[in-house]
Chain A
Amino acid sequence: MPFQFYTDAGLTSALTGNLEVNTSPTTFHLWLGHTSTGKKVETATGSGVNNITIAVYDSATGSGHPTTDVKLATTTGGLGAGGQSLTIGTSLNGGTAGAYEFYCKVTDSLGGAGASTELTIETPNLVETSI
């Protein structure tokens, strides 16, 4: 089981599907983590030096929804000024205590015109090691 997104602080409910935006705006409360306290991740490139980030990516730049439809923040209050990237640090430990809590607010700037899945939130490549 890799480090992944969860929908609860206890890391018991993994996000198994997409972030379904049925109404606009929709706010998702998420945690990035691993259930095992014996694991940690660092970036694959520049391990221990580069920061792990969570960022919004657009697989179809120039068409569909812009990345600015997604805002990321560590608090709900921060979503108003939230950007499209969060910096976690150079490593992230497993276990609920190490999980990274954040909020993701999605606004459908196209007004529910159609289905689309061009935006993702993702980390850079991570390497997982035992602590």
Chain B
Amino acid sequence: MPTYGGQPFEPLPFGDELGGGPTNPEYVVSATISIDTRPRYVVDATIAIDTRPRYAAEAIVEFPPLTYAVGTAIEINVGTSYSVSGTIEFLPYIYAVSATVEFDPASAPYKASATVSFRPDVHAAANAATVWWNLSVTLGGTDITTRLTGDVTVEREEDASALASLVYVPTTGSLDPLMWLGKEVKIWWIQLNSAGVEQNRRLRYTGLVSDTQWDADNRTVAIQCTTDLQGLFDRLTRAQIDEMVPGSWSEWVFSEDSRGWSYAEDRQSTTENSIWHDEMRMVQNTSVRAAVSPTYTFGDDDRLEDQAQLEYADRQSITNVMNIALDYRFERKRHREVTFSWQPYSVVGSGGVASLCMYLNDPYPLCQRSMVESAANGNGWVLQGEIRYIPVWPAGSYNCGGGDLKVWGFEEVPWGQYIVTRKQNFTQWCIGAWWKSAKRWLQTVTETYSLQVRCSDSVDEIGELVDSIDYGVESQADNSGWESSLDDTGYPAGSLVINFGDYYLDSTEDDSAGRDVLDDVQDMVLAIASANLVRAHRNTGVTFRAPFQPMVRLDQTIKLDSAGLVAQGKVRRIADTFGLESGEASTEIELAISRHNGTGLYTPSALTPPAQPAPPTETPPSTRVHLDLYLGGRLASPSLPEDANGYLADYQYDPDTVLVPNWYYNPDNPNVKTYGQQFIAIAPDIDEAYTDPAEVTATQVYEVVVPEDLLELTA
């Protein structure tokens, strides 16, 4: 490595040991060292700094900038911190500097640069009566123009790699044609004047050698070139393809494994675009629709004498109705609240007295609150809040009619040497209760969107040619904890109330398959269907040949105005042939003609997804459970119903108090039904309408108007 600069550098003219120096010291100071070379990049440097004791603090050395142009000053910024009156400042201070600075020429600064090359419009020149032309072809950067023989061809088509072929006469000596594989080939068309002097040039092709073939007899190498459109995309990540191909993509619409070119095609299918490589091998995405006005018009005099060919679309290749079935499946998180009510007695006014009198006349074990609580917590539902109890009748004397005065609620207890009467404590019993319980469960819901995208103009003429496709989106939300998530806080926020006590919350918020994703998928499938119909109606083609057309591109609209055929459409394919020996250069142009042949009176629909279908109509469930009182132990007591729900008890049997005939009350009598004592609180079953998978459907028809390109035949 070369070394520049003095070794050591000369002492620099600033600072001294007494603190003198520039009037207004600055941090940046400089000295100039002449460098007699192009810009370099400093990769290493050592600087020795000799400081005076007063400035014995650390020295700070910087090298900005790190690059130097010829004649530019190298700035060596040296400062040292010192304290004057307690203030830390920088003072430029160098007594002596010695440095060795090495430069690495390979690391020289550079610019990224591209020249904008404006080319004149050569359409008129290329279509003149006489055109002098030549080609300029480079292979791997080497000009091989003078070693070409035969024809050079260039062909580009929508959604395909651009191809080229040429025949090359190598220089004498041994060779290995495989060495050219992957090498870049550029083909320029050059417009000459009659003296053979270049007037203009057009880049016509940039590609890579894909195949070589040695002709041993003629000792030539046939070279095939491609722009490798598919290979280009196969080397890109999805994110990179997103940058290059408009459109949209979803794993719910396309294969999850889609990568590279397949992924690019997926995205493209959601648009009305075609992908192609231009002459610079740049990827172009342009609409398949023809423009209203043609870029160029070719009359009979402008094309070669070959018969222009018209090829009609095969009816079977046309699709004019796309039926889409899109299912969206998710879980509906349901929450139901039910009120249990056990109030067998009237406890108000005279009714309360009557119920007490009935009880006192024929008593049975009162209901314990703990039994109610056990029943409320043991039926599979979750208690919401607290159980409200109706306390037993208050202690007192009650007139039970006919002068029958009964005392209720007092007990005699010893108090020292006395027996006293006090009110009984009834807090463990109740004569009524009510509470609210809740349950949660999941219900699978499927929304089916039945969408039809049609081109009625076409249908009216050739009948329905239907293509159907199914898509499905399934919410991925994990709701496994929903049923067990219930606590005593009631229904969750955001729930939709469909009936008093009945709530639900649709699980459609997940990122991977929520309703937002569904909306995107609907937009996508409608776009795909619409684009499919547009593409399916442009299978008619018109092909003609003209002198080489340097200005014609795949994104242009061309009109052929021939005596027997007038057609206008977007260019689908361009094939150039340069006859190096014949001197003829021609271009074959294929136009895609979009036709529906209908009246054209239909208007296109906005491709707006349909509204979410309404939930299925549900019969409001009963959300109140009435619990009864069942008393056994009497011959007249009925058999206990199977669906008994409430408090079960048996009348007390006291042989000393009951009236004759005792056998009617005796629980030992096999005809006397006894129920035992328990509290049952069975919640109502949840109807299948609320648990079975639910399906709802939304239907919508969309009209697509495909272009009707000009096509007139004259006999």
Contact = CB atoms under 8 A, between A and B. Distances in A.
Interface string B57-95: 000000011110000000000000000000000000000
Interface in B102-143: 107, 109-121
Given A7-B283, A20-B279, A117 B110 contact: no
Contacts of A15: 114, 280
Interface string B186-205: 10000000000000111100
Interface majority SS on B: helix, strand, loop or mixed? mixed
Instruction: Give the most central of A4, A69, A111: most B CB within 10 Å.
Output: A4
A76 to B, nearest CB: 9
Interface in B236-258: 236-237, 239-241, 243-244
B116 A121 contact: yes
Interface in A111-128: 111-117, 119-128
Given A10-B235, A22-B202, A122-B111, A127 B116 contact: no
A62 B39 CA distance: 30
Nearest to B280: A20
Nearest to B123: A112
A48 to B, nearest CB: 9
B66 A127 contact: yes
B117 A117 contact: yes
B66 A126 contact: no
B576 to A, nearest CB: 14
Given A10-B236, A125-B39, A113 B115 contact: no
B151 interface: no
A21 B237 contact: no
B110 A122 contact: no
B1 to A, nearest CB: 17
B282 interface: yes
Interface string A1-15: 011110111101101
Nearest to A112: B121
A5 B121 CA distance: 26
B232 interface: yes
A92 B117 CA distance: 27
Interface majority SS on A: helix, strand, loop or mixed? loop
A19 interface: yes
A18 B117 contact: yes
Interface residues of B, number: 44
Contact of B281 (A13, A30, A65, A69): A13
Contacts of A49: 64
Contact of B114 (A5, A23, A29, A114): A5
B708 to A, nearest CB: 27
A106 interface: yes
A109 to B, nearest CB: 10
B156 interface: no
Contact of A21 (B119, B240, B241): B119
Contact of B232 (A3, A8, A111, A125): A8
B553 interface: yes
Contacts of B464: none
B701 to A, nearest CB: 33
B551 interface: yes
B282 A28 contact: yes
A17 B638 CA distance: 103
Interface of B: 39, 41, 64-67, 107, 109-121, 184, 186, 200-203, 206, 232, 235-237, 239-241, 243-244, 279-283, 550-551, 553
28 contacts: A2-B112, A7-B281, A7-B282, A7-B283, A8-B232, A8-B240, A8-B244, A16-B186, A17-B186, A19-B114, A19-B117, A20-B202, A21-B116, A22-B279, A23-B553, A47-B64, A49-B64, A113-B120, A114-B118, A115-B120, A116-B117, A119-B115, A121-B114, A122-B114, A123-B113, A125-B39, A127-B109, A128-B107
CB-CB nearest 5 A-B residue pairs? A9-B240, A112-B121, A18-B117, A122-B113, A44-B109
Given A125-B111, A127-B41, 10 more contacts: A8-B240, A9-B244, A10-B236, A16-B184, A16-B206, A19-B114, A21-B117, A120-B114, A123-B112, A126-B110
